[in-house]
Amino acid sequence: MQKPPNARVQDKRAQEKRAHDARGQDRRAQDGRAQDIRAKDTRANIVQAASKLFYGEGIGRVSMDAVAEKAGVTKRTLYYHFDSKDDLVAAYLDARDQPNLTQMAGWFAAAEGGVDEKVAAIFTALAKSARHPKWKGCGFLRTTAELAALPGHPAVKIGARHKAAFATWLAGELEGAGFASPSALARQILLLLDGAFSASLVHRDASWFEEAGAAARALVRAHPRQESASAVS
């Protein structure tokens, strides 16, 4: 039985309305995704601009106005993405965390020879970096030093997490290679590494990395293996 003409017209209008509403929802969803992408791009751009300024000049000397100008955004946009300068400083270090760890792990993996040479390769690569005119040392150490009176600052916590992550990664490599007390050895190597960062910056002399690398190589060579430790016990 056919529907009356008026009913068919109403059905058609209802279908058209549903189709129109669906298209509207799709457009709103697409617009929302586009806004999310733009927001992420803007945030990343701000962090990149802040990173250049904070690393190059130190966090104390860089204002939020300078970051906004460098990023090409208004201060309103800057504060939309970051509630405070403290949040931005934390984001600066957080953005450096994994890339730095990945880079050092890459130097280790790419080096030929035993673990002693692989560890020394990290120092050699950093010596090369330290000879670049724009090199300003370890951003994590410098930022933590500037915030020494604020141990609970989020950036200080990120710096501590970064150093701990490096030591944990290196301890895993050392354990896999059969070294006894791998965590202790990793911490000793990290002490040499951070000492080289500081000395190279103070003296403006990259050879401190090379000297520390030689010490790290000797330290690894002299460290007992798990088999040796078991034999002694």
The mean pLDDT value for 156-167 works out to: 98
- Write down the pTM of the prediction: 0.81
Q: Tens digit of pLDDT for each residue in 61-86? A: 999 999 999 999 999 999 999 999 99
Average pLDDT of the chain to the nearest whole number: 91
All CATH 1.10.10.60 domain ranges in the chain, comma separated: 1-82
Q: Is the pLDDT of residue 29 over 70?
A: no
The yes-or-no verdict on residue 9 having pLDDT over 80 is: no
Q: What per-residue confidence (pLDDT) applies to 15? A: 74
Give start-end residues of each CATH 1.10.357.10 domain in the chain.
Answer: 89-233
CATH superfamily of 89-233: Tetracycline Repressor, domain 2 (1.10.357.10)
Greater confidence (147 vs 9) lies with: 147
CATH topology of domain 1-82: Arc Repressor Mutant, subunit A (1.10.10)
Q: Can you give the three-state secondary structure of the chain, one letter per residue?
A: CCCCHHHHHHHHHHHHHHHHHHHHHHHHHHHHHHHHHHHHHHHHHHHHHHHHHHHHHCHHHCCHHHHHHHHCCCHHHHHHHCCCHHHHHHHHHHHHHHHHHHHHHHHHHHCCCCHHHHHHHHHHHHHHHHCCCCCCCCHHHHHHHHCCCCCCCHHHHHHHHHHHHHHHHHHHHHHHCCECCHHHHHHHHHHHHHHHHHHHHHHCCCHHHHHHHHHHHHHHHHCCEHHHHHHHC
